[in-house]
Structure 1
Amino acid sequence: MAYQLHHNTKRKFDDYAAADAWMRYDETLPLSLSSPIQFFVRMFSGGKTLVLQADSSDSVASVHRKIQSITGIRSIQSTSGVPRMEQRLIYRGKQLQLQQRLSECGIQNDDTLQLVGRMRSTRHPHTWRLMNDLNSLIHALCNCNDNTDVNANVTCMMKMLTDFLTMTPKDGADRSEQYLQIFIHSSVPAALVKLYVSPSVTTKQAGHECICQFIDSCKTLFANPVTVYRQFAPILFEFCKILRGAVGVDDALYIFCRSSLAAMMKGYVHDVKCMLRLQDVFPFVRELATRLSCALELSVQSAEFIQLSDSDVREFIKFMHPVKCAIRRQQTFGCPVSFPSLMQSEAGNERIEIEGVHRVFCDLQEKMELCLKKLESQLGLINKERGEHIVSCWPLYLLILKELESISKLYKGLEEMFWEKMRQRRVELCFLMVRLSKRSTDYQWILEHKEVTNFKIRQRFALKMLREGRHKNEEFYEMLICRSRLFEQSFEYIGHVNPRSLRGQLFMQFENEEATGPGVLREWFSLVFEAIFNPQNTLFVSCPNDGRRFFPNPASKVDPLHLEYFTFSGRMIALALLHRVQISIAFDRVFFLQLAGEDISFEDIRDADPYLYSGCKKILEMDAKMVDEDILGLTFVCEDEELGSRKVVELCPDGKNTIVNSENRDNYVNRLVKHRFVTSIAHQVAHFSQGFGDIITDRRLRKSFYRILDHEDLNKMLHGSKTAVSVENWKEHTNYNGYKKDDLQISWFWEIVGSMSAEQKNVLLFFWTSIKSLPVEGFGGLDSKLHIYKTLDSHDKLPSAHTCFYRLCFPPYPSMDVMQNRLNIITQNYVGCSFGAE
């Protein structure tokens, strides 16, 4: 194998016998005054480093023999009977000759030598020469006491580093790798660190500036991430390893190098040629985890919340990325790792590091529990404060917990334990999510575990998904609708337009009507959904026992445009949620589960088809002997009604001849349910889902929307409150203009409203606001309070409403009877649902 060598060694060894003689007889040379030294020998192969001790008078040949005794690597091989030198030692860019004494080579305590294989002419002589000159200059600086010379030499040294990077090819990873390896193999990193640890303040500053400039220049010059990740990371590893041993992990320069290395970890670990070992990266994880653990512990002990280091948290996460990848790749203990088996194992690569990651997880989870408990104890005080500020460590709490959740997936049983702990800290988690909510994607890992959240949190982030990616300055999308052609025209406006046009504000007006604004928009939504879910349109079927719950109609194909109508329906539902309009309908469980991408079970059809559910339940519970006697006379077929005729469908291959018995009846029921509620409406669900997804700007969130919600969550958002309207709640959220709350007319008004039937209250509410159903939170969930305005109209006038602003207007009627008469007229359905709303 051929290796590169400094240009001074560019020659052939013609007399291999002489070299062999020096290896065997160097002890016959005369001895000189010697002194013991300790030095390091870095191996090209495997990156190992040997620690050797020798006298300064020992020869280079004796060092070769020591290396051979330790590693088994022979320095001389025989090819066709001709001895040949196979291993060489390099120091400061120069090859050491066998007959040289260590003192003659200038080797001192803690110096590093490089062992390389048989070398021929180097392919990059100028680079090796530059590194050799740089090493010589650094050595001179380390022994220089003249500040003027130091400043001049520092300038020269920085130029040499820049020249090296400029010479390094930028157009190919393999070519640049050869140059950057020369930087390591020539021991320049060790030399620069030696300069940095110099007792002289001037030379120490010089070392600091040179290392920082070199690292920053690499980031700038190597714009291609592949080059940076693959070639430059080993240099940073080298700097970090040497600095860790020389100055410790709290040193500013070490922290700078570690941060620079952390920045490239995610890309570097995905390079197949540069798979990182756990042994290389885990020390960074361990030291950062220790810093985080100490900070969290101090936060618990202090009366205030101690500020965590944002950089420590983010670097911990970045270094954990390659560590997690390495654990997933290892085969010895499986993945997820069985920790008891790991503890009992006496061998196995990377066992110590895998165990160490587990310890890091347990320690940080324990500290985070204590921090959350402290937060819980202070929630009452926090919620009472006005103008509550966000403590800067709180966002970092969620970042740490997110990383711990990711780590927990590496070990069997650990993920379940983690979420059990989080369920116990549910209140604090919800508090943090509400206070810190920005992008919904930041909290997907929590939101998909619904047991640790509540409805308000899930609703908040579902609406955030719909709003994300929108801009306040989006153009209005204008619609002019004729009431007599409301469904057809609404379908044209919504179903056929580019989805981007619907992501701004909607401006709605009915033909030949002056009224515009949010109230008219709410009315339009209400009327469109009445048409969509009208049984005559055959798009949706209501549940027999609950007419407010719907699922797609398998027979919708009677209309050739039915799939386009489902896309339109999906868009309309998403728009209603986006604009916070309750539509007084709900989805049945079988529909919701398919939108969420989940399987339908037999128990899920209970409400959608009680008759089928009851029949299947009897089949499953019937005595096995009776079923096997074919008392039911069933085979694996079912009948579908299509365009007025009935069609037999086989539920499995040769279903007509497959008799249902006690052994296959579960399979029969499952296939029947799947055909009835999955296969027969698959196209309708897919088009509805596509239409709904059109309104979500961020494509990554389209599959997540339903997963973060429970079935009833969505129904609460769509249908709103199912409880009767509370007059007291109504009064609490109503303001007065021209009237006072203790005026006779106001007292009469609320007394009359209190005596109304539930239907009359709903009609009055719709007349007043264009709202048919209140949010789950009641009147407090509306975007503003309601208002009662005093007018100067005659007492003959009926009340009027400005639904956009939630205003009800009426004159000071002279008596309660007159007011009762006027309100009775308003609360008649045929009047209240079409009268004077603006």
Structure 2
Amino acid sequence: MSAALACHRRNPKRRRDAPDHALPPSSKQPLMAHAGAGAAEPSSSASASASGADGASAAAAPPPSPREAHFFVRATDSKTIAMHAGWDDTIGAVLDHLGACGYGRDLRLLYAGRQLAPEATLAELRLPQDSTLHLAARLRSTQHPHAWQLAAHIAATAAGAESGAASVPAAAFSLDELVKDFILRAHRANLGLFRQDRGAAGEDRATGDHAAEYLDIFLQAGAALALVRLYLSKSAFRSYAESAIKCFIATDSSSLPMDVLVLTAPVLLEFCRLLSMAAGKKELLYRSCRRSLASVLSTGPRLPPTMNSPTRLIEQILPFACETVDVVLEGLASMSMMVSPIDLDEFSNFFKVMCQQARHWISGEGWMPRNLYSRESERGNTWMWRFYNMSMDMLKRLDECLKRLEMDLSLSSDSIGVTEGQTIWAARSHILVVLTELDFISAIYEEVGHNLQLVLMAHRAPLNALVRCSKRNERLHWLVKHKNLLCFEARRNLVFMMLPEGKDDFGELHEMLIDRSHLLDESFNYIAQARHSELRGGLFMEFKNEEATGPGVLREWFCLVCQALFSPKQVLFSPCPEDKRRFYLNETSAVDPLHLKYFTFAGRIIGLALMHKVQVGIVLDRTLFLHLAGRSITLEDISVADPVKYASCKRILEMNAAEIDDLYLTFSRGAHELGTRETIDLCPGGQDISVNIRNREQYIDLLIKNTFVDSISAQLTHFTQGFTDILVNPDRRKEFFECLDLEDLDRLLGGSNDTINLQDWKSHTQYNGYKEKDRLITWFWKQSSACQWSNRGSSSSSGLQ
């Protein structure tokens, strides 16, 4: 049967790649096709036009004749063709016409997951108006036919409710139930409960593939578009469309299982496109969809197959990310400089995804080439330039905020109490969140990183105030790179964020009952044998036959255990000759068969002491500190642990060639092992290699490495593991020590030798049930000023509780 065609682009502003065709008219009922990629396509970016301005014009057009069918065909090249045909036209005539238009031969048309017979007429098929058919080549079977049928039913129900068709309203009440059923089917298909949802050859596919295919069917069948059109209409059933759309926003696992939730990004993206264009950016449902899109993209373990291209994904979400940036910039520019937590989370989620995808696009560890985001790139309006421009706008706004905060510092210190001041600065922690995002972006754009460093250096005072008062946030670890800008209190707060908080509820605490006469053995059994998860919850202890409990008793226990554990009698640690409070590992500890377990115990004790903020009166040697920090040990680092070896090595470096030759040194060293002396090679065949003026530096490096690392490697491993057991994230051990200098760790574990600053103590004191002018408090400070206080083993900022 012949067919006639008169074509034009239905929405030329949205898509410019649709072909124009013109065939001579037929003697029969005309078959007309309007070719335009996305004129009313539900699953492409141009589908928004059907619910926006173009959708409005379509709604205003007169309805087709009763003898005409109006439907859409999704071609294999992702273009959508709007067609008008007579009811007595066959599917074969439609296929012949599409073939004549250049879409090829041997084609098939699908609807609701079924292949349509070429001899069937449109009247026999009873296709609903505005149906979407799919063009395929040599189709032999259709995967997920039930998904196609259910998605088409959802689309038809929503379309009928929008138009007010008499046969639809009863089904419209259950739109959300239909969507939930569709989501449940996608989840069950992932679990392999539908035999027909296996691959063509019957093989299983990776978890999540079926759910992604189901959601793609939901879009291709026009269900998303139909739901949005119903929601935007004046129909009495629009609220049911809203409930159905919200099914993709829900976090309830009963309505949106996690394996489906992580793949809903394409559907949410389609909802965002349609709603933003037709309803506006202030529409509550749109904003909910946008937040969910950001959350799903940032937390999903993998992206759906349709979003695997970094460039494509960034281009798709960039308009929505720009909106969140505008919200954050507006909040920072206000008098309060406040940004709501919801807006901040959405902003962070979008930028997390964009940074990840930009890094994938760069495919390397370096920065993006500057020529891709220079001012000349502005003309091209590329995503690289727009992302960079957004980042610089945020950095400028943060610079202004930090300047304002710097002016507030004097006010907060002079006329606001300590507690109130900390609360105010903690409420501004969102500024650190925005700085964190800029740090991630600085790994992509070198210029952003350079300017960020300049801003932080220019505003050290407010930066330190923000970090000191910030609440626990593991994303602030990037500040380790800028630790030279941070004061001790700020660095201390950063490392405490890496330690567990502990629980106040006794039911969550690891309880211990210790006999003082067996202090070390019983403490070892309680700590070394416990699971690390139990220790992270906190400790509650008491001594046998004693009623006292509480923080004071726990502090005493820590100090007593450390005194016993680090005692030279235990042969686990050796005190430094010039500082008896400083300890390093003893290489002869193997005399105790349990020495490795005790090193694990010791590492846990040190971690727990830091976690509970107890200063135990002992400190670690620099060699042990550097090992925990993952750094190499040099000659200058051993000066305190082994001053004799240090002096000998310095002397060798100062000798001339003849003096070194007279020493008859080889690349080996002597060591005592269980009462015997043995010779250890510093390198293969070391006893046969003489030390001379050319290799003396290599000899000294190997000697230090063997003495302070290789010979005690097992002890170091167990001590490090014990300490790592206490950290919230064991992978951040090196960051923990990178954030600290040795002097910082000394203050955390051993206190300070300096005289207590009474004024500093008073300014950091919290009065629980008292006032500063009370007679008892006045008397206390008067007596304190008359005494000589030393805070060795105690904290100057602990306060009066």
- Select 1:294's aligned residue among 326, 329, 337: 326
1:49 Cα shift?
Answer: 4.3
- CA distance in structure 2 between the aligned counterparts of 1:435 and 1:47, rounded to whole angstroms: 58
Counterpart of 2:455 in structure 1 is 421
Mean Cα deviation higher: 44-53 or 669-678: 44-53
| Residue of structure 1 aligned with 2:483, choices 443, 446, 450 | 450
Contact 1:239/1:257, CA 8 A, preserved across alignment: yes
Q: 2:245 aligns with which of 191, 211, 233?
A: 211
Shift of 1:154: 3.0
8 Å Cα contact 1:660-1:668 kept in structure 2:
yes
Task: Report the CA distance between 1:604 and its aligned residue.
Answer: 1.8
Secondary structure of the 1:264 match is: helix
- Give 2:541's match in structure 1, choosing from 486, 495, 506: 506
Describe the shift of the 1:115–1:312 C-alpha distance in structure 2 as closer, same or farther (beyond 3 A).
farther
In 1, are the aligned partners of 2:248 and 2:261 still within 8 Å (CA)? no
* Deviation for aligned residue 1:642: 3.2
* Structure 1 residue 64 corresponds to structure 2 residue 80: no
Q: 1:183 to 1:526 in 2, by over 3 A?
A: closer
Please, what TM-score do these two structures have when normalized by structure 2? 0.73
**Structure 2 residue runs without a partner (length 5+):** 7-20, 45-72, 193-207
Q: Is the 8 A contact 2:160 2:168 kept in 1?
A: no
Query: Given the alignment, which residue of 329, 332, 335 partners 2:360?
Result: 329
Where does 1:683-762 land on structure 2 (aligned, <5 Å)? Answer: 683-693=714-724, 705-724=736-755
CA contact (8 A) 2:614 2:749 kept: yes
> How many Å apart are 1:517 and its aligned residue?
7.6
Counterpart selection for 1:319 from 350, 367, 387: 350
Aligned pairs (5 A) from 1:291-370: 291-305=323-337, 307-330=338-361, 334-340=364-370, 342-343=372-373, 352-370=382-400
In 1, the alpha carbon distance for the partners of 2:131 and 2:658 equals 87
Out of 671, 677, 699, the residue aligned to residue 646 of structure 1 is: 677
Aligned position for 1:257: 289
- Choose the corresponding residue for 2:619, options 559, 581, 586: 586
Please report how far the alpha carbon of residue 265 of structure 1 lies from its aligned counterpart in structure 2 after TM superposition: 1.7
SS at match of 2:37: strand
Mapping 1:132-531, distance limit 5 Å: 132=152, 134-144=154-164, 152=170, 154-155=172-173, 161=179, 164-165=182-183, 169-170=188-189, 171-172=191-192, 173-198=208-233, 200=234, 202=236, 205=239, 207-213=241-247, 216=250, 220-223=254-257, 225-230=258-263, 232-266=264-298, 268=300, 270=302, 273=305, 276-283=308-315, 285-305=317-337, 307-330=338-361, 334-340=364-370, 342-343=372-373, 352-383=382-413, 384-386=415-417, 387=420, 389-390=423-424, 394-412=428-446, 414-415=448-449, 417-437=451-471, 439=472, 441-447=474-480, 449-463=482-496, 465-473=498-506, 474=509, 476-482=511-517, 500=534, 503-508=538-543, 526=559, 528-531=561-564
The answer for the alignment partner of 2:197 in structure 1 is none
Of 513, 526, 551, which aligns to 2:584?
551
Residue 794 of structure 2 aligns to which amino acid in structure 1? P
C-alpha distance in 1 between matches for 2:601 and 2:152 = 73
Shift in Å at residue 668 of structure 1? 2.2
Instruction: Indicate the SS of the match to 2:515.
Output: strand
Taking a change above 3 Å as real, the CA distance of residues 369 and 433 of structure 1, as seen in their structure-2 partners, is: same
Residue 710 of structure 1 and its aligned partner are, at CA, apart by: 1.8
Q: Could you tell me how far apart the structure 2 residues matched to 1:298 and 1:345 are? A: 25
CA contact (8 A) 2:76 2:136 kept: no
Q: Partners in 2 of 1:162 and 1:516 — Cα distance?
A: 55
Q: Determine if contact 2:33/2:84 at 8 Å carries over to the other structure.
A: yes
Secondary structure of 1:506's match? Answer: strand
Bigger CA drift: 451-460 or 22-31? 22-31
Residue 118 (str. 1) matches residue 107 (str. 2): no
Aligned to 2:690: 659
Contact 2:328 2:339 in 1 (8 A): yes
Residue 784 (1) aligns with residue 797 (2):
no
Partners of 2:798 and 2:273 in 1: how far apart? 60
For residues 697 and 27 of structure 1, do their structure 2 counterparts lie closer, same or farther at Cα, with a shift above 3 Å needed? closer
Q: Where does residue 606 of structure 1 map in the other structure?
A: 639
* Structure 1 residues 182 and 35, CA gap change in structure 2 (3 angstroms): closer
Q: Which amino acid aligns with 1:635?
A: T
Q: Give the stretch that moved more between structures: 180-189 or 274-283.
A: 274-283
In structure 2, give the amino acid aligned to 1:259: R
Task: Determine which structure has more spread, i.e. the larger CA radius of gyration.
Answer: 1
TM-superposed CA distance for 1:592, in Å, is 0.9
Report the AA paired with residue 647 of structure 1: E
Would you say 1:597 and 2:618 are equivalent positions? Answer: no
Shift of 1:540: 2.6
The answer to whether the 8 A contact 1:34-1:56 is kept is yes
Q: 1:279 to 1:111 in 2, by over 3 A?
A: farther
Q: Is the 8 A contact 2:604 2:726 kept in 1?
A: yes
Match for residue 86 of structure 1?
A: 107
Residue 239 of structure 1 aligns with an amino acid whose one-letter code is F
Describe the superposition over 1:601-643 as per-residue Cα deviations: whole angstroms up to 9, x where unpaired.
Answer: 23322332333334434544666xx389956543321222334
Residues 654 and 20 of structure 1, relative CA distance in 2, 3 Å threshold? farther
Evaluate the alpha carbon distance shift between residue 592 and residue 46 of structure 1 in structure 2; reply closer, same or farther with a 3 A threshold: farther
Cα-to-partner distance string for 1:414-440 (whole Å, 9 max, x where unaligned): 546534533433332332334331x35
1:773 and 2:792 correspond = yes
By how many angstroms is 1:378 displaced? 1.9
1:668-683 to 2 correspondences below 5 Å:
668-683=699-714
Q: Alpha carbons of 1:295 and 1:211: their partners in 2 closer, same or farther (altered >3 Å)?
A: closer
Write the distance in 1 (CA, Å) between the matches of 2:293 and 2:776. Answer: 69
Q: 1:496-526 CA deviation, whole Å, 9 max, x = no partner?
A: 67774794223236x8x99988767666655
SS in 2 for 1:263: helix
Q: Which runs of 5+ in 1 are unaligned?
A: 1-17, 69-73, 77-84, 755-760, 763-771, 786-838
Given the two structures, how large is their TM-score scaled by the length of structure 1?
Answer: 0.70
Which secondary structure state, in structure 2, belongs to the residue aligned with residue 721 of structure 1? strand
Separation in 2, partners of 1:727, 1:371: 33
Moved more, 424-433 or 23-32: 23-32
The Cα RMSD (Å) is 5.2
- For the residues of structure 2 that align with 1:246 and 1:48, how far apart are their CA atoms? 27
The alignment partner of 2:737 has SS state of coil
The answer to whether the 8 Å contact 1:278/1:326 transfers is yes
1:40 is aligned to 2:56? no
